[in-house]
Structure 1
Amino acid sequence: MTLEQFTPEEGQVARRYEYDDSTVMAVDFGTEEADASVDVVDDTVIVVLADDQYEIELPANSENPHTFIKNGVLTVELEEEL
């Protein structure tokens, strides 16, 4: 997952956390973007904020990614393939 693909120029804060059995990515788009929507299509997370759209490519071995956005913070949870 490449967080650097949109965070430097847009000013979002993004973090990636690696655990034994999962990976969690969090991107803070700011509270003014609280009405954003998120969806997963194939191996791509699509975030729509007003007139802007962001696409985040997931690793090819991602199984059942869980995504949600609350108060302008996008969270993507990926479970490790067993």
Structure 2
Amino acid sequence: MTLDQFTRGDEQIARRYEYEDGSVLAVDFGTASTDADVDVVDGTVIVVDGDDQYEFELPDGAADAHTFIRNGVLTVELEGNQ
């Protein structure tokens, strides 16, 4: 997963956190993005935020990804080591 596509200036902050039992990707779209939607289709995370759409592939072996958006923050939780 690349975080570069999410850091278009100072408004968006993207971070990846690694843990023993998995990893977490967090992207702050800001408070104006509270109506954004997220879905996972065939190993691709798709985020639709107004007229903008973002897509990125999950790493190989990431069969179980949990995604959600709260208060403009996208969270992708991946189980296992990616």
TM-score by length of 2: 0.90
RMSD: 1.5
Amino acid at match of 1:74: L
Aligned-partner Cα distance in 2 for 1:55–1:20? 26
In the other structure, the counterpart of 2:39 is 39
- Per-residue CA deviation, residues 17-71 of structure 1 (Å, 9 max, x unaligned), is 0000110000000010100000001111000001110012110110210000011
Runs of 4+ in 1 over 2 A off after TM superposition: 8-11
Instruction: Give SS of 1:61's match.
Output: coil
CA contact (8 A) 2:26 2:74 kept: yes
In the other structure, the counterpart of 2:61 is 61
Instruction: Give SS of 2:64's match.
Output: strand
Aligned-partner Cα distance in 2 for 1:10–1:58? 25
Aligned-partner Cα distance in 2 for 1:62–1:30? 27
Amino acid at match of 1:56: F
Establish whether residue 5 from structure 1 lines up as the match of residue 11 from structure 2.
Answer: no
TM-score by length of 1: 0.90
Aligned-partner Cα distance in 1 for 2:75–2:27? 7
User: Which structure has greater helix proportion?
Assistant: 1
Amino acid at match of 1:50: G
CA shift at 1:10, angstroms?
A: 7.6
